[in-house]
Amino acid sequence: MRESFREELKRLAGDGVRFEEPLANHTSLGVGGPALAMVYPESPEQLGAILAFLNGADIPCLPVGNGTNLLVRDGGYRGVVICMKRMAGIRIYPVRGNEALLRAEAGASLAEVVSRSAAAGLAGLEFCAGIPGSVGGAVTMNAGAYGREIKDVLSGLIMMDRTGKSSAWPCDRLQFHYRRFEPPIADGLITTAVFRLAPGDPEAINGRIKEIKDLRRRKHPLEHRSAGSVFKNPAGQPAGRIIEETGLKGMWSGGAQVSEKHGNFIVNRGEATAKDILTLIETIQERVERERHIRLEMEVVVVGEDS
């Protein structure tokens, strides 16, 4: 990497930059080679300056939140990873009529947003209980569970383009699909999300959160590293059940295994590589296509290069 590039990134990101950072340390699957650099912007101004520099130097960049839906290949990512974790402010506005707005920066954890809204007696985000992502990742993935999705509670977004310019987007101008968001600006980064919540009974809200977390503990292999559901559910049936019926539960490749507890989870049993996980993914897709004539689509986002 050119020295001038390193120096400029250090100048812009201060102590929030690491070079050749292994991404296995930043993904819930615990696999993946290094990024050219990883930066941790602390404000929209700093983020804007970093983006403008990278854009001008034609260096690719990848925003990440908690890395809980990411599979990074073993050769790593030859660009700059922008970790949003230091932009994590949350603010709750007073109730007006029948709603209250909660504004969260992209790096705020969903867990924190869920517990802050519950503590304020606001309902709407309970379905996110136990989803281990950040706000930016949850919006990008249109994260969902138990019949609800992020788009159902979103009021609007602030996004930044690759030149560092911010713009506000009300929800009715945004397009969401099943586990997918179409950014209105090419390669736009989410910097802030505003959620529309409703006043509710704190006991009922906390009860629902507890119920959902208990259900997740029973159904999901939370004792092992994973990225949650690997595949989207094809119309009408859960991918996990199809994988189970195809007899693939429990199958190994190197240090990766199709979870014995939930067919749609691939778990890292200790020493897995991205290649091990990708081998299982391919095997599942081929077998399901051959036996059930269904092409399972990926929910997990795969980035980077093979080693």
Interacting residues toward ligand FAD by CB under 6 A: 28, 62-70, 84, 106, 131-134, 136-138, 140-141, 143-145, 189-190, 220, 222, 226-228, 301
Selecting among 149, 179, 226, 253, the annotated active-site residue is 179
Shortest reach from residue 184's CB to ligand FAD, in Å: 12
Q: Are 137 and 143 in contact (CB under 8 A)?
A: yes
User: Do 133 and 115 contact (CB within 8 A), yes or no?
Assistant: no
299 is catalytic: yes
Vertex 105: Cα angle to 43 and 7 (nearest 5): 30
| CB 296 within 8 Å of CB 50 | no
Task: Output DSSP code: residue 230.
Answer: S
Nearer to ligand FAD, 66 or 117 (CB): 66
Cβ distance to ligand FAD smaller for residue 121 or 277: 277
179 is known as an active-site residue = yes
Tell me the closest approach of the beta carbon of residue 145 to ligand FAD, in angstroms.
Answer: 4
Here the tokens at position 174 are: 């945004």
Distance CA 185, CA 279 (A): 34
Least spacing, CB of residue 26 vs ligand FAD, in Å: 8
Residue 180 bridge partners (DSSP): 177
Q: Which is nearer to ligand FAD, 121 or 267 (CB)?
A: 267
What residues contact residue 92 under an 8 Å CB cut-off, 6+ apart? Answer: 100, 101, 102, 103, 116, 117, 120, 122
Least distance in angstroms from the C-beta of 252 to ligand FAD: 20
Write out the two tokens for 230.
């690997």
Tell me the catalytic residues: 179, 229, 299
